[in-house]
Each structure stands twice: as structure tokens, then as C-alpha cells.
Amino acid sequence: MTAISSPATLTCSRCHCGSSITTAFQQDDTEVLCPRCAQRARWRMLWLNVMSMYVLTITILLSLYFLSLYFPLTRIGWSVYLFINVAAYLFFWFLVLGLYLIVHSVLTWLLGGTVFALHLGGGPILVETRIGMMHIAIHRYPSFSYFQAAFPQQETARVRFLTLYLTGIIVSLILTISLAMNFRISNLGTTLAVGELFCAASVFILVSILIPSHFDIGGAKLPNNAARILQLVKDRNAPAQLHETFFILKTTFDIRSKAYPAALSSCDEGLRLYPENLILKSNLGITWIELGRYTEALQLFEGLASLATDNPPFAAIFANNAGWAALLLGDREKARTYTQEAFALMPWEPAVQGTWGAVLVEDGDVDIGLHHLFQAAEQHMIPHNRAINFAYAAVGLYRIGKQEEARAYLKKATALDSDTDIVRRAQQEIV
């Protein structure tokens, strides 16, 4: 027997995709889950958490009511208002989450920073809109809210962030205490208890930002206010990292806002200060792709892919981007080689799966291509990416003679994002 050394691989128990990037999988005694299936499980948990919080609130209210039957301590009348208030609670929860986002945004601006995105809720994005450069997304589950902000000032970023998170806690504390002072439990049974519901929601939120913890935003874990403060106090190297993060966010959101000239100049500025930053280099390549500079982008990503061999997740993303640039350039052979490489490493990543699906459609393997495109579209958080998946699916369907379906998917793609090269290409092909 000869020993053949091959990299260890893991296969997901649910979707059966496999990869040699074994660290990405989540394993327990019974199951091995790829990041995509693990995320689905987390979203289910998130939904259960939201629902159980609701059930808990209802239970507390009802027990208060039954208590009031035997003890004159609490006086809640058995009226329809009790149920109206319970039903309205979820709405107030959302309202306070929104208020918390507004408070933090205003504080960020006052401190000289930039707010890139506000996220209300967790899980997949339902609605996304943009005010100037700021993205506002409403997600499926009303569980928590988070924002993406950064400061362009290198030296003082740490102090500014500390001030931001501390002030956030203090504002929340003052709001909660002032609401609690006017809290009348009897109002729950006699009127629409706006103040009391507001108070209940803000107590929950105060607790959730005051006890250091992380919450799962799908793929990444974000620290809450208290955890961030601890991080900033402990980590002395924070200023440089925070400044680097500013450029990563700036370039990423310039691209998402389709402000490509701005993206070019912020990539340049960032790379001048942090020439080794791979995400900034990658964002430069993505901007080139969006500007139709495919040859330059292909060269850049080919170089990055060969540099990143010791970091398989990065290698997969760079190979994927090289494949995408090659596909748009019309180099089908290179497109297939790079995309296949990326797909073998990260089949669960929607960007990788979408590119692979598009390459298969171009190469005439439409059925398998469609399968990957639809799965990628389901997973993508951002509407722009779903639009690209649907546009390619429409092209595939059109080529195998399913013209009605093709037009339906093209319509979907156009509704999601009509200002995209791929959607325009599909519109030209499908008549």
C-alpha cells in the first residue's frame, strides 16, 4: 500500500457540500455543519429567541393579572387593553431598537465619525434603502439592532469610540430610569400604556448593552457596547486597526453605493497607508470590475490568489473574483479554472456559488448552473447580489427555451437592482 497524502476534508451532514477548509465547519457529536447550514440553524434559534421573549412577556403580564385577583398590590383590570398592550409590545420593541440606532448615529456624527449602515433586526434583509452614503436595512427577525460606523481620525479614534459607547449606555440608562419613574402597572389594563411599553422595551435593551456579550449577525459575532468598551480599554494596538477598518468600511460602502470614483480614491488612500491590506486590494479589484476594467481586475486577483495560498478562505475569494473578471472578459477557460478552484474550497459561500452557477450557464450546463444560482440567491443578504444571480438564471432559462420563466426572473432581477451591467446584458439577450 502506498500512502497518498491529501488534505483532510469535511462534508456537511445536511447539504453534503465538502471542503478542505475544515475550520469553517461546526461539529458536534451528531452532525457536521457547513457555515451555510450552521447559519440557518442560528437563524431558527434567533426566531425562537424572539418568540420566547414574547411568550415570557405575556406570561409576566398574565401572572400579574392573576396576582391582582388575590392581592390588591397590583391593580390590572381584566380588559381588552391588556391584550392590546401585549400585542403592541413587539412594535415598541422595534421602535426602541430604532431609537437606539438613531442615538448612536447622532453621537457618531457629533464625534466626527461616519455611519455606514444601520441594521434593524437580524437574519436576511427584507428592505434596504440608502440615504446618501448611509445604508438602512430592515431584517426579518426583530431581535436586535446594530450599526457600522468608523472614525477617519487615526490617533483619536479609540477615545472617540469609547466616548460613543459609554454615552450610548448613559443615554439608555437615563431614558430607562425616567420612564420607570412614571411606570404605572395599572395602566396596562386600562389604556394603551405607551410609557410602560416603552419602559419595558428599554429595560431589555439596557440590559443587552450593559452586560458584556456578543451577538450573532450571521457569519460574524459583534460585541455589544460593554464588550466593545472592554476591548478598547484592553487593546493598546487598537488605533491602527480602527483606522484600517475605517478604510475597509469606506471602500466597501462606496462600492455598495455604486460611487465608484469615490471607491477608487478611498482604495488609493487606504492602500497608501496600509499597502498590505488584502481586503483593500480586493475592493480595488471589485471597483475595477464594476467600472468594466476587467483585464486589470483579472491580473490583480490572479496575483492575490497566488499570494494567498496559505490562507484558503482568502485564496477562495480571490480565485472567485479572478474567475468572475475572466467570465465578464469572455475568457471562459480561465473563468472555469478559477471558479472551480474557488467552489472546491468554499461551496457554501453565496458569491462563490453564484459565480460557479454563472460559469456553468455560460458553458451550457444550465440545469446544474440554475441549481447553484438559485441557492446562492437564497443565501445572499444584499439585493444587488441576488439581482445578478437572477439575471444569470434568466439567461440560462432563456437558452434552454423556457422563455416565460426567463422573463419572470429577469423581472425579479430588474426589480432588485436595474442599474447593474449583468442585468442590462440579460435584458439585451432576452426579448
Q: Interface with Zn ion includes 32 (CB under 5 A)?
A: no
Strand partners, 110: none
Among 10, 21, 37, 149, binds Zn ion (CB under 5 A): 37
Q: What is the DSSP letter of 217?
A: -
**Amino acid identity at 238:** A
Q: How far is the CB of 352 from Zn ion (least distance, A)?
A: 14
- Contact segment (CB under 5 A) with Zn ion among 15-23, 232-240, 277-285, 296-304 equals 15-23
> Least separation, in Å, of the C-beta of 276 and Zn ion?
33
* 12 part of the interface to Zn ion, by CB under 5 A: yes
Footprint of Zn ion on 358-377 (CB under 5 A):
none
Non-local (6+) Cβ contacts of 356 within 8 A are 339, 340, 342, 343, 347, 369, 372
User: Does 199 sit near Zn ion (CB under 5 A)?
Assistant: no
Nearer residue to Zn ion within complex by CB, 122 or 347:
347
**34 near Zn ion (CB under 5 A):** yes
Min dist. Cβ of residue 8 to Zn ion (A): 17
The SS3 assignment for 116 reads strand
Least spacing, CB of residue 189 vs Zn ion, in Å: 49
**Phi then psi for 150, rounded to 5 degrees?**
-155, 165
Whole-number Å distance between alpha carbons of 37 and 125: 18
- Smallest gap from residue 119 Cβ to Zn ion (A): 25
Strand duo 214-216 + 18-19: pairing:
unpaired
Q: Cβ closer to Zn ion: 232 or 351?
A: 351
Residues 228 and 213 sit within 8 Å (Cβ to Cβ): no
Q: What is the full DSSP assignment across 18-76?
A: EES-GGGSEE-SS-EE-HHHHHHHHHHHHHHHHHHHHHHHHHHHHHHHHHHHH-TT---
CB of 371 to Zn ion, least distance (A): 14
Distance CA 175, CA 203 (A): 9
Residue whose CB is less far from Zn ion, 34 or 297: 34
- Give the cell for residue 366: 444550465
In whole angstroms, give the CA distance from residue 340 to residue 352.
Answer: 9
Residue 15, interface with Zn ion (CB under 5 A)? yes
Per CB under 5 A, 164 contacts Zn ion: no
Task: Tally Cβ neighbours within 10 Å of residue 414.
Answer: 19
- If the CB atoms of residues 121 and 357 are measured against Zn ion, the closer one turns out to be 357
Choose the stretch contacting Zn ion; rule: CB under 5 A; options: 7-15, 133-141, 211-219, 280-288.
7-15
Total residues in contact with Zn ion, by rule CB under 5 A: 5
Least spacing, CB of residue 33 vs Zn ion, in Å: 6
Residues at the contact surface with Zn ion, assessed by CB under 5 A: 12, 14-15, 34, 37
